[in-house]
Amino acid sequence: MFWKFDLHTSSHLEALLDKEDVTLIELMDEEDVLQECKAQNRRLLLFVCQDQCMQDLVHMITTEPPTGVEEIMRFKYPNIACELLTCDVGVINDKLGNEEPLLETLYAFLEQPSPLNPLLASFFSKTIGNLITRKTEQVISFLRRKEGFLSLVLKHIDTSAMMDVLLRLISCVEPPPLRLETLIWLNEEKLAQRLIELIHPGRDEERQSNASQTLCDIIRLSRDQANQLQEISQPDPLLTVLESQECVEQLLQNMFSAESTESCIINGIQVILTLLEIRRPVVDGVMDAQGFERSYTVNSSILLAIQPHLIHFHQLLLEPPKRNPMLTSLGVLEEPLGNTRLHVARLVASLLYTSSASHAVVAQELCRLNTMDLLLDLFFKYTWNNFLHLQVELCVATLIETPSEPSATPENSAHNLMVTHLFQHCHLVQRILEAWEENDKIQSEGGMRRGYMGHLTRIANTVVHNLEKGPVHTQISSLITELPEDYRGRWETFVDQTLSETNRKNTIDLVKTHTCSSTVYNKDDMESPFPKELTLQQAFSDYQIQQMTANFVDQFGFNDEEFTDHDDTVFETCSKERIQPFDDDEEDIWEEKEIKFAAQTKSRNR
């Protein structure tokens, strides 16, 4: 490979370094300056690590470049400067991390007024993040001496790069004792509480969203690192605060204040959903990246804080923030479901999954509010919203698939109460039967299959499966038996015939081994359960062939207008104009004839 021995670029850099008046900009204009730095080019590193050069590099990534040039050229040198400072070369890291004047210049970027330039902010975040990883003790010590550091970062939290700075401090500090010391410092600075304060209706949406995302990331990172901190036998102070009842209550108070906004509610729910996350050991055979089984237990204080506010979430399902009518492919939706109600449905599903057989207060309150009945109403009202359908399906599945623990009698009562509530007060079986019959009627009249039918099929199968051998099959069997005689008979017929036939069709392969001698498919020849879809697929394939044929003809100079189905003379005329005519008289093709090239050429040139 010849390029291995091409020393032209290197020799050009060496020639520049030989110049007495060579400038940093001249070197940065070289394409391979970054590659040479990473390759530990000694002369280049000695030049770059000079005090003035390092100051210039830091200045480039923290100062707005002059205007008047194209954006791509305007940030050329700041971008190269950032790459040089973060190329992970030891001498550059040492110079930048050990020289306090350079750290002061870098830190001064945070003292600029809002809003920060997002591109420069990303350069700053990448540089300080690299230093936190490579020069941990020096940088942490420097930042801790800055009293207003955290305030400045939170001031600029509307710039997403600032989130990365905080997460670096939490996840990239080694060894574990130093990390714990850093977490204690951040907790003493009340990082968690101050981020929660930013999720408030009085804050702009970008600031709320970034604060919410930062909190979610902190929770996940803290839980993932919990095993490492166990060596020091001290809990993660940030996670302890975030899981406290006081902290969750403060978040909920912000969400449901008098001037509450949709943005505040959604961002708050996202934090609560993260707090409620449970990873059960080996779900479907999946383990974490290290090959260990992980599961997290939700602190009961979180549920205790949520329980008094369940009525507010229920009210959001009844009266969500006003939304304008939405034009969809099926017409105008006068009252869209909205992101708020979808997030509330996700929260209810998560609460049921988290609190089943362990926390009676949540289950009892959801029964009292009749929240499951309301969610089922929305399930059938919003026929085409599969995001909602999935959450309602998860709620039903959680209730009837979760086993009860015999050792905890009060909790068993709460769980049994929810199952009874689902069948008796929410009329789950009756709703399934009526919705299915309504869909069959609509389809028989030529209408479209309801959008929730796939999820309704899964819900029905879940009920049937758990009726036979589920953890609460005895209770479900008893509740089915208590149905009115009419519904009980319809349910048995539905399970034995309709549902069984639907399951049979759903398990048939889409493409069967049936062979066809032609690319034209007739309905009588189709054995797939989805003939319409295959017909559409074939029609599209035919359309593509038509398009190719049309293009193929166009490339040879013919137009559709030149041909008709009833006039062959036009075709013959066009052919004679474009193709060398042949004499139709019978003759011996092997007979020697005088070849006249000029005439042939003239004929073809026509």
Higher pLDDT, 68 or 531: 68
Nearest C-alpha neighbor of 225 from the set 275, 287, 166, 296: 296
**What SS3 class is residue 330?**
coil
Beta partners for residue 333, in sequence order: 326
Confidence of residue 569 (pLDDT cuts 50, 70, 90): low
Whole-angstrom distance, CA of residue 357 vs CA of residue 402:
8
**What percent of the chain is predicted at pLDDT more than 70?**
75
Determine how many CB atoms are found less than 10 A away from the CB of residue 207: 21
- For the segment 35-63, the average pLDDT, to the nearest whole number, is 93
- Verdict on whether the full-model pTM lies above 0.95: no
Whole-angstrom distance, CA of residue 338 vs CA of residue 324:
10
- Kindly tell me the burial class for residue 25, based on how many C-beta atoms sit within 10 Å of its own C-beta (0-12, 13-18, 19 or more): exposed
Residue 431 gets the label, from left (phi > 0), alpha (psi -120 to 50) or beta, of: alpha
Confidence of residue 580 (pLDDT cuts 50, 70, 90): low
Rounded to the nearest 5°, which phi and psi values hold at 333? -95, 105
List, in sequence order, the alpha helices (H) in 75-204. Answer: 76-85, 90-98, 100-107, 118-134, 136-144, 149-155, 161-171, 176-188, 191-198
Question: pLDDT value at position 454?
Answer: 94
User: Do 379 and 429 contact (CB within 8 A), yes or no?
Assistant: no
User: Do 388 and 340 contact (CB within 8 A), yes or no?
Assistant: no
Whole-angstrom distance, CA of residue 25 vs CA of residue 15:
15
Confidence of residue 583 (pLDDT cuts 50, 70, 90): low
Q: Cα 432 vs. chain centroid, distance in angstroms? A: 32
Determine how many CB atoms are found less than 10 A away from the CB of residue 12: 13
CA angle 165, 167, 171 (to 5 degrees): 125
Higher pLDDT, 506 or 298: 506
Higher pLDDT, 522 or 274: 274
* Half-sphere exposure at residue 339, Cβ-oriented, CA atoms within 13 angstroms: 10
pLDDT at 220 over 80: yes
Higher pLDDT, 534 or 73: 73
Higher pLDDT, 589 or 287: 589
Cα distances (angstroms) measured from residue 508 to each of 505, 511, 513: 5, 9, 12
Give the best-scoring range by mean pLDDT among 244-258, 291-305, 325-339, 394-408. 244-258
Higher pLDDT, 534 or 91: 91
pLDDT digits (tens, 9 = 90+) for 457-487: 999 999 999 998 888 889 999 999 999 999 9
String of DSSP letters for 545-577: HHHHHHHHHHHTT--GGG--SS-HHHHHHHHHH
Peptide bond into 175 cis (omega under 30): yes
Least confident span in 111-115, 233-237, 307-311: 233-237
Whole-angstrom distance, CA of residue 37 vs CA of residue 53:
14
Question: pLDDT value at position 291?
Answer: 42
